Amino acid sequence: MLNKNITFAVIFGLMLLFSIDVDAQWNIPAGEKDKKAPTEATVDMALKGKTLYMKNCKACHQVPKTTNLKPPAPTDLGSEEYLTSRTEGETFFQTFKGNGGSMGGFEGRLSEDEVWDIVHYLGTFRAGSTIDLASVQQDLDLKVNLKEDGHKIVAVATNAGVPAGDVKVLFSVKRYFGNLTLGVAKTNANGYAAVSFPNDLPGDKSGNAEIIVKFANQDRFGKKEVTKTVNWATVLHVENMTEQRAMWGTDTPLWLLFIYFGITIGVWLGIIYVVFQILKIRKVAN
Amino acid sequence: MKIKKQLEQKDNNTKNTRREFLKKGVLAGVGTILAGGIVTSFNATASGKTVNVLGPDGKVKTVAKEHLKDIGKKTEAQLQKAGREGIPNRRWVMVIDLGKCKNDQRCMEACQTHHQLWTSKDGKGDKVQHHINVHELKRNEKSGGFFMPKTCQHCDNPPCTKVCPVDATYKRDDGIVLIDNLRCIGCRFCVAACPYSARVFNWHNPKDEEKYADKKYNVELNVPQKRGTVTKCVFSADRLREGELPYCVSACGNGVFWFGDENEDAVTNGTTKETVRLSKLLKDNAAYTLMPELATRPRVYYLPEKDRIFPFESKKKEGDVNHHA
Amino acid sequence: MSEKKSLNKIVTDLTKPIKNHRWFMLWILFLLSVMGFGLFGWITQLTEGLGSTALTDYISWGLYISGFIFFVATALIGMLISSVLGLLGIKWITPIARIAELIAVGFAMWAGLIIVFDMGRPERLLNVFIHGRLQSPITWDVTVVMTYVTISILLYLLPLIPDMPFLKKTMTDAPKWKQKIYSILSFGWVGSPEQYKIIKRSIKVLAVLIIPVALAIHTVTSWLFAMTPRIGWDSTIFGPYYVTGAFVAGGAAVMIAMYVFSRTYNLKEYITDFHFDKMGKLLVLLMLVYLYFNINEYIVPGYKMKQGDDIHILNLFVGHNAKLFWSVQICGMILPLILFLFKRMRKPLPAMIISIAIVIGAFFKRYIITVPTLEHPAFPADNVPAEYLIYWPNWVEWSITMMAIAGAILIVTILAKLFPIMPIWEVAHEEGITNEEMNEFEV
């Protein structure tokens, strides 16, 4: 309990620090403060903003409202302290232009609309926000069939037994540090969506790969996820480079081994011969 | 107490420029505070007050737990054996997108923290060690400058392991070039042979030596460091074993680093965690390697800095010479 | 040449200096105090680590490594004089061959030690034998230095054997331990024809054996540099370039030793102006070859001025290393070469003075080969203190290097006090004295 308190105290202290100092280095032009979004925020925009946030902002700012700050710890953009001290326009400006320091502007990387989407997403954390992201959440069912013909992965989305059309499904394959997207397909009227497994993607030593199918927009359609192993990947051939007795390797190339010991033994035989000759001197004294 | 100290430090720092403050004061301060917090909450599991469990990746806790557990389980001999054998069927590769680097140097900080290296903030700042360094370069007089993070290139034809007399530095099947500081004799031939200046030496007692005194040596982390031995980037082999991206890669906030397994043809971005096909990334972006004329065949690829996302601001003074780009 | 000397005179002249101890203890004391200071430096380095030197991550090789090449280089002269010239049947080397061999032994032994001073973990030296990788030039270097020291000691020892009976007979008032050494090292020498045959054959075997070993020792040393892809070191002629440079350094060292011994040991009748003249001419030849290699080494990259090479060459020619570079090139090679063309300069005193310039030049030439290359890393030294690219050895390095030099001279001094500086029997042979006469020698 005590530990928790200390942690809280520390983090609160940090926030305090940052709210003072980070503020000080922002130079926001007067007109920007009252700038408004071109359109009213919608759930769709906020969801889009969430996706963009996770990709572009999370690495530094973390998931909003979580306290696992990291050094150097930038502001928690979902915190009361932040949101009550900023207008939408200021957040937009900060995101779009950056501060020339640690916070780089996203101008050129994200469009104005996209930045507004992020602002809308952050707006959902404001006290009294009318947008409730959870309200639109459905819980669709997801099944996956594999078609050997053409190496097709077919996803079937249903809502309480009824085919769900117009739902984006994300197909990916498991890699060591994350999932590699194979494709995103929209379900048709029958709830079907499919992508082909590429014919040049490496798998393990027997050509197996694990595929993961889920809804592209999990906030809307649910977190259902199907994992399957397919044998459609290319077979991995591993050549162990350390086995080649290379000049840079641990094991000496054979030719070098022969040369070294040949020369060394040869020379030392000569030396030993001379030593024996010296010892012979006494014997032949007469 | 800690907060008070922090506030005092803040006061001292307000005299400096804000950028200085952000870079020096806060970074150091946050590190101290977090270290304090974590050590307090981990008292039960980690008796030693470890700094190397600190992560700038925001996953301080988990890494520490796993790390401590893992190291705790294995004997030094097992660690050495695993360190020689490598991670089976993998061939690690790094891709660095020069267009995204703005010299935040978070990669350097993370690396120095985890590998027990002297930083410019320690003491008088006269003993600085980098496994990863961010250079400021220009391809020629007329082209614009750019920042280039440079790790060990983990060459497939490494000039450094070639010259090591005792097999202390060696290349494993998963592509990583490591250094075993229990065996290194400190002749520094590898330092002389490396054309990328990627190797540094422990000239002095390592930083925080007493804190690491009773730690088991993990060759995949190359910690505890030892005086009189060479140290270098090891692609954070200890992290890779746990399925985590290297310290520098996950510390970057600008999406500069991609890291992955060539055998899987996939690399994952340390910032966005996006995974793409390695072959396509290299093909589409005119990837190149450093000093290809030496045929060292690096495992680190660079994507040219065309379409920079940040304006380039030189930190160099007039008259500084770049020897190579 | 001068009148024939009697055997009695030869024995007296050559054994007298090793009985005479005037100044000897003082000189030894001086050497020991220099070494004591070096020892202090080494203890400092051992307690504080290599951080107590001026070396950095960029300039990671400095005075120790240049000192190592210098020592190996100087040691190489033993092979040239006693082996190559000996096998060619050149007669004037008889009185100076042992001096050359002494220098070879002293400097080769300390070359091995100076490498240990450069190691970050000297206590792990045995790893080279336990985990030795044959792909590394260092492994070859260790092998070949040990072999060279062994052969050099044998080449010093073998011609001593026939001298031992003379020492036993004349040094009757020497301490017991000395007598004992003479007795053991005589290996029962009585001067029988078979014994002469064995000695001559063994010397010949060693003389042939040492040629490839000596070439190897310095070629491998040059490979410590040439086997790396570094500008300034990445050169195909480094092997022969080093070898010829070594002969120059060693030849000059022998010249200095000749002067010192002929004066302090009162042997002007044996090491005459003629020998200085000959050595001077030999040095001219060696320096011409060395100059030729220098021209190739610097003009070829200097003409093309490729990227990287240009910085290195300009730094040496006109940059901040230019003073040192031109000093060693002119004072250590070109000027001595020209001076030695004049007969008057090949007289003992001027020859000795010129040789000192050559040796000092040779020492700093090694420095010029080692350090400036490291001052130009391929990537700029960013985010490190500016001092990381500036190097000049500090007192720790100087004191340890001085200890090595004093140590090598100490070995030479002690051996030259224990045994005659020239082979009595060979000098006697030259004077037409037969084996029988020598066997019957009595005081």
Q: Rounded CA gap, A194 and B133, in Å?
A: 45
Residue C352 has pLDDT above 90, yes or no: yes
Instruction: At C193, list the tokens.
Output: 């024809």
Query: Is B222 among the domain residues?
Result: yes
The DSSP H or E segment spanning C277 is: helix C273-304
What phi and psi, each to the nearest 5 degrees, are found at residue A146?
Answer: -110, 130
Residue B19 has pLDDT above 80, yes or no: no
**Domains in chain C: how many in total?**
1
Burial of C343 (0-12, 13-18, 19+ CB in 10 A): exposed
In chain B, what residues touch C383 (CB-CB under 8 Å)?
Answer: 105, 108, 120, 128, 130, 133-134
pLDDT higher at B325 or B194: B194
Query: Is C439 among the domain residues?
Result: no
Q: Which residues of chain A have pLDDT under 50?
A: 1-2, 8-10, 12-24, 70-71
What is the least distance, in Å, from the CA of C441 to any CA of chain A? 17
CATH architecture of the domain covering A2-134:
Orthogonal Bundle (1.10)
Q: Is B175 left (phi over 0), alpha (psi -120 to 50) or beta?
A: left
pLDDT of residue B222: 94
Q: What is the pLDDT of residues C124-181, one digit of tens each?
A: 999 999 999 999 999 999 999 999 999 999 999 999 999 998 888 888 888 889 899 9
pLDDT of residue C291: 96
Quickly state the pLDDT bin for C104 (edges 50, 70, 90): very high
pLDDT of residue C68: 95
Q: Which candidate from A9, A69, A108 shows the least CB-CB separation from B3?
A: A9
DSSP sequence for C3-29? PPPPHHHHHHHHHHHHH--TTHHHHHH
Residue B20 has pLDDT above 80, yes or no: no
Q: What is the pLDDT of residues C198-239, one digit of tens each?
A: 999 999 999 999 999 999 999 999 999 999 999 999 999 999
For the residues B124-149, what does the mean pLDDT come to? Answer: 90
In chain B, what residues touch A247 (CB-CB under 8 Å)?
Answer: 162
AA identity, residue C241: Y
Q: DSSP E strands: which ranges in chain B?
A: 92-97, 133-138, 145-150, 169-171, 177-179, 199-201, 230-232, 257-261, 266-269, 275-277, 300-303
The residue of chain B with its CA nearest to that of A53 is B272
**Domains in chain B: how many in total?**
1
3-state helix, strand, coil in chain B (%, to 5): 35, 15, 50
Q: What is the pLDDT of residues C360-392, one digit of tens each?
A: 999 999 999 999 999 999 999 999 998 899 999
Q: Rounded CA gap, C59 and C376, in Å?
A: 9
Domain that holds residue B172: 42-303
pLDDT of residue B18: 39
Q: What is the pLDDT of residues C272-303, one digit of tens each?
A: 999 999 999 999 999 999 999 999 999 999 99
Query: Is B28 among the domain residues?
Result: no
Touching C (3+ Cβ pairs <8 A), the chains are A, B
**Spatial contact of A75 and A22, defined as CB atoms under 8 Å apart:** yes
Q: Rounded CA gap, B215 and B229, in Å?
A: 17
Query: Is C136 among the domain residues?
Result: yes
Residue B261 has pLDDT above 80, yes or no: yes
In chain B, what residues touch C139 (CB-CB under 8 Å)?
Answer: 165
Closest by alpha carbon to A140, among A110, A171, A161, A115? Answer: A161
Burial of C247 (0-12, 13-18, 19+ CB in 10 A): buried
Q: Which of A248, A252, A256, A260 to mutate to test the interface with B (most CBs of B within 10 A)?
A: A248
Touching A (3+ Cβ pairs <8 A), the chains are B, C
ipTM summary value: 0.91
Query: Is B126 among the domain residues?
Result: yes
For the residues C402-427, what does the mean pLDDT come to? Answer: 93
**Spatial contact of A187 and A144, defined as CB atoms under 8 Å apart:** no
**Spatial contact of B193 and B150, defined as CB atoms under 8 Å apart:** no
Query: Is C443 among the domain residues?
Result: no
Closest by alpha carbon to C74, among C98, C48, C56, C100? Answer: C100
pLDDT of residue C324: 95
pLDDT of residue A73: 61
**Spatial contact of A87 and A33, defined as CB atoms under 8 Å apart:** yes
Domain that holds residue C199: 7-434
CATH of the domain at B169: 3.30.70.20
pLDDT of residue B317: 59
pLDDT of residue A6: 52
pLDDT of residue B217: 93
Closest by alpha carbon to A131, among A46, A63, A38, A49? Answer: A46
Q: What is the pLDDT of residues C15-31, one digit of tens each?
A: 888 887 778 889 999 99
Could you tell me the CA-to-CA distances from B100 to A93, B19, B138, B272, C89 in Å, in that order? 21, 20, 16, 13, 73
Q: Residue C33: how many CB atoms within 10 A of its CB?
A: 11
Instruction: Please answer yes or no on whether A285 and C147 come within 8 Å at the CB atom.
Output: no
Q: Rounded CA gap, C50 and C54, in Å?
A: 8
Alpha helices in B230-308 (DSSP H): 237-241, 247-251, 278-284
Q: Rounded CA gap, B101 and B157, in Å?
A: 28
**Spatial contact of C74 and C218, defined as CB atoms under 8 Å apart:** no
Query: Is C26 among the domain residues?
Result: yes
Query: Is C2 among the domain residues?
Result: no
Instruction: Please answer yes or no on whether A253 and C135 come within 8 Å at the CB atom.
Output: yes
Instruction: Please answer yes or no on whether B40 and A3 come within 8 Å at the CB atom.
Output: yes
Domain-by-domain residue ranges, chain A?
A: 2-134, 137-230
What percent of chain C is modeled with pLDDT above 70?
99
Could you tell me the CA-to-CA distances from A129 to A32, A80, A125, A138, B291 in Å, in that order? 22, 13, 7, 21, 56
C160: DSSP letter: G
CATH of the domain at C258: 1.20.1630.10
Domain A137-230: CATH class, spelled out:
mainly beta
What phi and psi, each to the nearest 5 degrees, are found at residue C8?
Answer: -55, -45
Q: Under 8 Å CB-to-CB from B104, ≥6 apart: which residues?
A: A102, B252, B253, B254
Q: What is the pLDDT of residues B83-131, one digit of tens each?
A: 999 999 999 999 999 999 989 898 999 999 999 999 988 877 788 999 9
Closest by alpha carbon to B158, among B197, B193, B201? Answer: B193
Q: Rounded CA gap, C337 and A201, in Å?
A: 70
Query: Is B2 among the domain residues?
Result: no
Q: Which of A64-78, B311-325, C108-122, C312-326 has the lowest mean pLDDT?
A: B311-325
Q: Which candidate from B200, B201, B323 shows the least CB-CB separation from C378?
A: B323
Residue B39 has pLDDT above 90, yes or no: no
In chain B, what residues touch C131 (CB-CB under 8 Å)?
Answer: 166-168, 183
The residue of chain C with its CA nearest to that of A267 is C209
Q: Is B252 on the interface with A (CB under 8 A)?
A: yes
* Mean model confidence pLDDT for chain C: 92
What phi and psi, each to the nearest 5 degrees, are found at residue A153?
Answer: -105, 120
For the residues C318-333, what does the mean pLDDT come to? Answer: 94
What is the least distance, in Å, from the CA of B204 to any CA of chain A? 27
- Residue whose entry in the numeric block shows the structure tokens 């022998």: C254
In chain B, what residues touch C372 (CB-CB under 8 Å)?
Answer: none
Q: What is the pLDDT of residues A68-114, one digit of tens each?
A: 554 456 778 888 878 888 888 888 988 888 876 777 788 878 889 99
Q: Under 8 Å CB-to-CB from C343, ≥6 apart: which residues?
A: C277
